[in-house]
Amino acid sequence: MLTAKGYPNRLGVGGWLGGGRWGMERYLYTLHRLTGLGLIFYFLLHILVTSARAFGEAAWVASMGRVTGPLFTVGEYLVFLAFAFHAANGLRLAFIELGWGVGKPFEPVYPYKTSVDFQRPLAIVALLLAALLAAAGTLDFFVLHKGVTP
């Protein structure tokens, strides 16, 4: 019977972070992981904090009061930036998963090309989308921001 031996991650966490000269997409992968980890830990806490609305106004106000202030505003803004990048880059990854925007298969004839050559425009569009979302978020958080009514 055949058994999969797998490919041990010999470089550990350092292998995730360092992309060497593998190109922009390799760093997008690292950033996708980092933002994903940040978002999941925030989301687990967010479920607990926002569920307070089921217990009435006093519980909601108390719960929101515990996560209000300049430090939390900056933290929330970082979460928004993580969302902007993870969403735009995730959409790019879903497109690639479906075979969209990666070009058609072709015979490997010298001088060789890689599919990354065809994916680059998609990566640039994803980054532009993330930047647009980030700019809108920055405007909302720091320029047009309204305070919470006590």
Partner 1 sequence: MIRDAKLWTWHVLAGLVIFVFLGLHMLIMHLDDVVNIASLNPAGGHPIDWANVVARGKMIFFPVTYTVLLGAALFHGLYGLKNILFELNLGDGVKRATTVVLALLGLGLFVYGTWAAFASLALARSL
Inter-residue contact 102 to 115 (CB < 8 Å): yes
The interface with partner 1 within residues 118-137 (CB under 8 A) comprises 136-137
Inter-residue contact 130 to 84 (CB < 8 Å): yes
3 scored as a contact of partner 1 (CB under 8 A): no
**Cα–Cα dist 96/107, whole Å:** 20
Angle at 48 between CA 46 and CA 50, to 5 degrees: 65
CB of 27 to partner 1, least distance (A): 17
Return the residue of 60, 101, 102, 127 that touches partner 1, per CB under 8 A. 60
56 scored as a contact of partner 1 (CB under 8 A): yes
* Residue with Cβ nearer partner 1 (93 or 127): 93
71 scored as a contact of partner 1 (CB under 8 A): no
DSSP per-residue codes, 69-131: SHHHHHHHHHHHHHHHHHHHHHHHHHHHHTTTTS-------SSP--THHHHHHHHHHHHHHHH
Inter-residue contact 17 to 34 (CB < 8 Å): no
CB of 21 to partner 1, least distance (A): 22
30 scored as a contact of partner 1 (CB under 8 A): no
List contacts with partner 1 (CB under 8 A): 4, 8-9, 12, 16, 33, 36-37, 39-40, 43-44, 47-48, 50-51, 53-54, 56-57, 60-61, 64, 76, 80, 83, 87, 90-91, 93-94, 97, 136-137, 139-141, 144-149
